[in-house]
Chain A
Amino acid sequence: MLTMQVQNVPWLVIVITLPLVGSLLCFLLPQQAKKLGLMTAFTIAASLIGLLFQVLDQGAQRYTVGGWDAPLGINLYVDGLSLLLLLMTALVGLGISVYATAYFNRDKTVYYWPLWLLLWSALNALFLSADLFNLYVCLELLGLSAVALVAIAGGADALGAAIRYLLVSLLGSLFYLLGVALIYHSVASVDIIIVAERIDATPPILAAMGLMSAGLLFKTALFPMHFWLPPAHANAPAPVSALLSALVVKASFYILLRLWLDVFPLPQEVLGQFLGLLGAAAVIWGGVQALRQTRLKMLIAYSTVAQIGYLFIAFPLATSIAWKGALYLLLSHALAKSAMFMAAGNILHFGGHDTILKLDRVAQRLPLTVAAFSLAGVSIMGLPPSGGFIGKWLLLNAALQAGEWWWALVLIGGGLLSAGYIFKVVGFAFTQTEASHEVHHVPAAMQWTAFMMALAAILVGLIAPWPLALMDIGLPFEMVVNKGSNG
């Protein structure tokens, strides 16, 4: 009986509206903000499990909002790709919510919870929406709430970073909107399925493709346009920088991936190679810069720049194994990076500073945090037991089978660079020096969430077959199939 009922409940809508309602409630009742926020987080996770069962049972879902069909109405579409990202958001979101309850003091929580749930709803909507303009709206909502969250820290450099991030985000969205306008002009529709059928390689479409890619690259902070990411992620409070690195940056990558797979017309060798090149440059540049940093959070932020570079290496290869590898890297990076930022938050809270050179005897006094940092580091480096290794293995496999061995060298080089800066930090944690500074006790909740997230990053490596099977629902990566119909 229960399963019958669970089937036909419109989980898609619930997953989007729940966080919206939650954020409104948190805004209206600031005293109970913490309890309400946590409760909403858990209910979102539960509803996502319901969606998971629904999709596992009936395959890819399509839901027309308010009954109007494509040309006018907005469609919600969920397949393996978006479902996996939704689950990732839920898992990371849950961890960050629990961490945030212990991290923020009285006045900051009032601002944090409404904005965070707003951001969460924007993410869910973004992963589910099936038309280009709706993607633009979610992108904007995401950008604004993320900027507001960065500005919570209130310091001069936090505000500077927030404004810079806002300007870049708006720039990217406007580019994207102009692209949508051009596409609408030639195809007279914004729904992805219809656009995919009618699209062909006319100059305005090519221009639209270039514009939209540039816009999304801005928001994903790929190599040349990454300058806004490190200050924003480093100066934001720990849970915010965790969700920025883990989720927000991935959303625009998801849109680019979706467009690349479904919408963009002909197979794109030139643009693919260009993106791969930028990705490789990002891996090297991010790694070298991370090695150079003296502050722990800046190091982790530059590590994000490098890891994003990895994701773009899948574009020139463009086989289903490569996409799955990139997606797996995305998933394990989200878990590992959130754990790392939480660990950095603990260290900052504990010692009042996060300069790497003075990480005195942290290993002895914060064993759980250092363990979390090292486990997350194992996943970032891509060493076997972790999820990062699975992603790296799939990408290496795809690269060598496609015969383009230089991508494999970039992957291995990136792994070595990341080993360099991870062990630089872990090495310092074993120091024997006696540093004299007053010490604040770090609440257990913060340490344990960091450790659990890092453990999840490792365990996701051991249960690889299930997420990989999940990715195949709705055949998102068989782009050759629908491309052929009108290519």
Chain B
Amino acid sequence: MSLSELLLFFVPGFPLLLAIPLLHRLLPRAEYLAILPAAMLLSLPENIFVETPWLLFGAGLGSNTETRLLLMMSVVLWIFAAFMQNVHASRNSNSEANNYHSTYFFLTLSGHLGAILANGLVGFFAFSTLIGYGFYGLLVETGNDTVKKAGRIYICFIIVADLLLFEAALLAATVTDDMGFDAVRAAMIDSSVTGLYMTMVLIGFALKAGFWPMHHWLFLTFRSVRPATAMLLAGVPVAMALLGTLRWLPLGEISVPGLGLLIQGIGGVAIMYTVLAVLIRRQHNHPAAYVTLTATGLFVIALGAVFIEPVLWDLYASPMFYAIVLLSVGLALLTIIIRWTDTTASNQKPLDTVLLYGCWSEKLISWGRRMGFELLPRLRNVFLVYVQSLWRVSFWQKNLQIGEYYLQRWSLAVTILLLIGVTIVTSLIIE
């Protein structure tokens, strides 16, 4: 367990530790300190891998040239975010809210770093859930009610996505017992469950990244969220989802033309949708949202192409990877510039259209509450009332009383005894 491997643990571990309000209140400039281990890891040139059999069925951490690039991007991004965070913290007097805000900040940071370094299916899944819930906290903590509504939709997507990725990991576990990425990719080439596995992974990460059909929360949040989170929004959850697709799917080995065509179709429609939205400016949204949507649309098209023609993968591999890096940093810069030049964005009136999913869940909960789903107990009460009337104490009391009295009257005893008297007489006569 050399020093560098220990450092590998510290990169996601230290921010997670700092997430506890008690600790990060003590350390000065805690946000910057949290990023320090990641920066130190960047300085080490060689590739480091660590296997942890005893940690969550052998999840492993590792850094190679590719991840180091991503790590460098995330360090830059998080330094900017930390700076924006401090600016915001100094302006807002309420220290209590700040505490919680920074907790979610650290949670998302540790999730992000962990996701980059993880090289096991379960590890990646764990850290991406951490990002999801951390980011939800960041979103809902500060924003006004539209952001809260968007947060609620986001959390629903996150839960469904986690469930799908959980099932996909299960499928992978049935095929191979080593959960490393390349082992899983190798096993997925010729196994029977590949189709199901790939669809689940694609839908899962689509939900997390906000691909075209599920992009509502992306638009909503960009509208009125504070700069720090808006910047993170572009960089962290979306980029990590894209990274996930690259890591989980067995790209370049198998050709699935049908799926590829479908995906390319969706990508194309997404791009057309954004162009249309920009033209008619129906939703006066934040330009960054449009840029994200187009970027993800392009990414999806590339992905579809790889599925149709696996040999393209070695051609597209590095550009897609760089696309992810550019996407997060570029978007971060874009949000900052727009935020400074256009101060009017913050007082936008909240979106009034009540979104479809939101009202469904409310209706279900209120119906349930009204019904109280006490159908069964209500039937039971009716039955109990009926039994109560049946068992009216007076009705039974009287009968039992008469029964007891009848016994008291000895007449029953009379019949038995006279019977025996008769037997005596007959026995004597016969004898």
Which residues of chain A have a CB within 8 Å of any CB of chain B? 175, 178, 182, 202-204, 206-207, 210-211, 214, 224-227, 288-289, 292
Q: Give the residue of B397, B423, B430 whose beta carbon is less than 8 angstroms from that of A210.
A: B423
A207 engages B408 (CB within 8 Å): no
A206 and B417 contact, Cβ closer than 8 Å, known pairs A227-B408, A292-B397, A292-B400 = no
B428 engages A204 (CB within 8 Å): yes
How many positions in chain B have a CB within 8 Å of any CB in the partner chain? 17
Q: Which residue of B lies closest to A224 (CB)?
A: B412
Contacts of B427 in A (CB 8 A): 182, 203-204, 206-207
Q: Which residue of B lies closest to A168 (CB)?
A: B413
Determine chain B's interface SS by DSSP, over half rule: helix
CA separation between A360 and B400, bound complex, in Å?
28
Asked whether any CB of chain A lies closer than 8 Å to the CB of B424, the reply is: yes
A227 and B420 contact, Cβ closer than 8 Å, known pairs A203-B426, A203-B427, A292-B397 = no
B404 engages A224 (CB within 8 Å): no
Q: Which residue of B lies closest to A218 (CB)?
A: B413
Contacts of B407 in A (CB 8 A): 224, 226-227
- Can you list 25 residue pairs at the A/B interface with Cβ under 8 Å? A175-B420, A182-B424, A182-B427, A202-B431, A203-B426, A203-B427, A203-B430, A203-B431, A204-B427, A204-B428, A204-B431, A207-B423, A207-B424, A211-B424, A214-B416, A214-B417, A214-B420, A224-B413, A225-B413, A226-B407, A227-B404, A227-B407, A289-B404, A292-B397, A292-B400
- Min C-beta distance of B412 to chain A, whole Å: 6
A182, A207, A214, A292, most chain B CB atoms within 10 A = A207
Q: Which residue of B lies closest to A204 (CB)?
A: B427
Determine chain A's interface SS by DSSP, over half rule: helix
Contacts of A226 in B (CB 8 A): 407
CA separation between A218 and B417, bound complex, in Å?
11
CA separation between A126 and B216, bound complex, in Å?
95
Contacts of A206 in B (CB 8 A): 423, 427
Contacts of A203 in B (CB 8 A): 426-427, 430-431
Contacts of B420 in A (CB 8 A): 175, 207, 210-211, 214
- Min C-beta distance of A130 to chain B, whole Å: 26
- Min C-beta distance of B392 to chain A, whole Å: 13
**A-facing mask of B401-425, CB < 8 A → 1, else 0?**
0001001100011001100100110
Q: Which residue of A lies closest to B416 (CB)?
A: A214
Contacts of A292 in B (CB 8 A): 397, 400
Contacts of A214 in B (CB 8 A): 416-417, 420
- Min C-beta distance of A192 to chain B, whole Å: 22
CA separation between A175 and B421, bound complex, in Å?
10
Contacts of A204 in B (CB 8 A): 427-428, 431
- Min C-beta distance of B18 to chain A, whole Å: 51
Q: Which residue of A lies closest to B400 (CB)?
A: A292
A289 engages B413 (CB within 8 Å): no
Contacts of B424 in A (CB 8 A): 178, 182, 207, 211
CA separation between A210 and B423, bound complex, in Å?
9
